Amino acid sequence: MEAVSGRDTDTAHNGCTSQGETDMRPLISAFLDVLYPPLCIGCGLRVRPHDVLCVRCIREMLNLPLSMEVSTLHLASLACACDATMMLVGWEYEDGGVLERCIHAMKYRRLHQVGEWLGRLLGEGLVGNPLLDHNPATERPLLLPVPLHRIKRIERGYNQADAICRGLAYECELEWDHNLLLRTRYTTSQSASRLDRDERQANVRKAFTVNGLRAEQLRGRPLIIVDDLVTTGATIGACVDVLIQSGFSDVRILAVARPPRH
């Protein structure tokens, strides 16, 4: 599958949904909005169509600075060494907070629209950000969702990182690709498990690989690995490692949220 263009994500064939079915989504969504008015995931108040949180709940989200100085701090605080060129995170993750409810709804209730909305909201803050910089001689950065193993994808129904990438791609006019970085080993869920730091690193060791043919087509292009929640960084670090080993020199990290570092 070729990379999916940002502004074309509503009509691009994604390998899972037929063209006709994709074109019907806005009509179906509008019909469902009439039958089931959208409610804020945070407080239950009615919100505008396609919104996930009300204005008040959005204000409760703790924004993290999207700066190079904070990027350095993020990378330095990961539990394992990571050679990513930069790392940005949108919001601080609070237990019991509105963002936790959004992420749980996205991951475990199959509400992919929550992921797309979070991606677009995050993308709004990236206008002019160094994360999107690129050499004029190269193409713009390519978004890579952290992949799920095919069994986990069947269990969950979809990959929440795909949904986030779809929203980011639309808002930032980027492309995203889920054929370059692959997950070849089924692993215990990092966020749902009680694994400690060393166990998390062992859990994802050799879990990822790179599609060699796709790598040849994309080599030299900046990459942005996208995930919903980063804790110790074991998963995202394993993704960075395998991409660098495959010859990519500029690998960046973007996450929706991260717990506070103590």
pLDDT above 50 (res 254)? yes
Q: Which residue type occupies 224?
A: I
Q: What angle do CA 19, 21, 22 make, to 5 degrees?
A: 65
Q: Which residue type occupies 25?
A: R
Q: How far apart are CA 27 and CA 51, in angstroms?
A: 16
* 101 contacts: CB under 8 Å, gap ≥ 6: 41, 42
- The token pair that represents 259 in the structure block: 């717990």
Domain ranges of the chain: 63-258
| pLDDT at res. 7 | 45
How confident is the model over 134-172, as pLDDT tens digits?
888 778 999 999 999 888 887 888 899 999 999 999 999
How confident is the model over 37-85, as pLDDT tens digits?
789 999 999 988 889 999 999 999 999 999 999 999 999 999 888 999 9
Q: How far apart are CA 141 and CA 116, in angstroms?
A: 19
DSSP state of 233: S
| pLDDT at res. 108 | 86
Do the Cβ atoms of 175 and 3 come closer than 8 Å? yes
Q: Architecture of domain 63-258 in CATH?
A: 3-Layer(aba) Sandwich (3.40)
